[in-house]
Chains A and B, each alone.
Chain A
Amino acid sequence: MHMSDGLLNAPVSVAFLVIAAVGVGFALVKARADLDDRTAPMAGLVATFIFAVQMINFPILPGASGHLLGGALAAILVGPYVGALCVTIVLVVQALLFADGGLTALGANVTNMALIGTATGFLVAVALRRLTERGKGGLAAVAFVSAFVNTVVAATGFVVEYAIGGAGGVEIGKVALLMWGLHALIGIGEGLITAVTVTSVASIRPDLVHLLRGNNTGFGSKPLEVRS
């Protein structure tokens, strides 16, 4: 979902660079509380995993593909603030090292995938958190739904940005229908990848799943063992 330069006009691109900078700055301040000697390495690995999985475009229709965005995945595993930073790091490396995602478009891309995607994924996951008390299936369902919604809402970010200052003056209804239709399909893939990843981590190290922390769930209720 990385947009190139030129799709949004200059003022809107700059405005979203500012919005992204404010959002990432806020996340930097709030992330500290969620980072300690145990969760900091985990956060680094979550960012790395999202980078790797974003390389894997999966087919959704003839001539169209999609890839993981990772917002819900990151929010469930390391919390919303650290999660937003994870996705931001991935997007910055992709834009600067691999010419993937425009430079003036970086603000809008960070806003959509790192800020909107992660916040949405987190809010949905927290709203459904009670389901995780049912064990692995419940956690998988929470992960799937929050990831699906994260994808569709992040896609809506682009629709809104295009409506405010998109190039070409294409009717917004057409852009919205295409984005929502395609990203509903991509969201299924995002949901499956997120569910498999989160339940895998939870079966090995439930203490490292942010969403399960301090929760009387089938996973988190296990006494934490300190292994070295």
Chain B
Amino acid sequence: MKKFFLGFALVSLLIAGVLSYFASGDPDGLDKTVEDAGIAAHAREHPLAGSTFADYALGGDSRFTGLAGALGVIVVLALSFGLFWFLRKKSPRNDLADK
């Protein structure tokens, strides 16, 4: 069981940390729609566009995309695991263990 979870986490880390360098830089379906329909001029710059990890880079340097991706994996894992572990129904066995 632990092996499966560890493997799943490792696959995510490899995708965000390594495979991310091979991602297409072209606009996605919504951005392409916005461009081709002539709505793009209305898009405002992101309020956090100047932040450290904006655009999955480090200070705007996209050579660090893998690092930003790995950081994202850790942050999402910590937040989601924390939330779901908090929300879960405790099993009776664990209630006993808690006491």
Contacts and interface: CB of A to CB of B under 8 A. Distances in A.
Interface of A: 1-7, 28, 31-33, 35-45, 47-49, 51-53, 55-60, 63-67, 82, 85-86, 89-90, 93-100, 102-103, 155, 158, 162, 166-168, 170, 174-175, 178-179, 182-183, 185-186, 204-205, 208, 227-228
Contacts of B29: 1, 60, 64-66, 155, 179, 182-183, 185-186
Contacts of A67: 23, 28
Contacts, number: 224
Contacts of A94: 72
Interface in B67-91: 68-69, 71-73, 75-77, 79-81, 83-85, 87-91
Interface in B1-51: 1-2, 4-5, 8-9, 11-13, 15-16, 19-20, 22-30, 32-34, 36-39, 41-49, 51
A99 B20 CA distance: 17
Contacts of B28: 1-2, 57, 64-67, 186
Interface residues of B, number: 64
Nearest to A62: B26
Given A7-B42, A64-B27, A99 B49 contact: yes
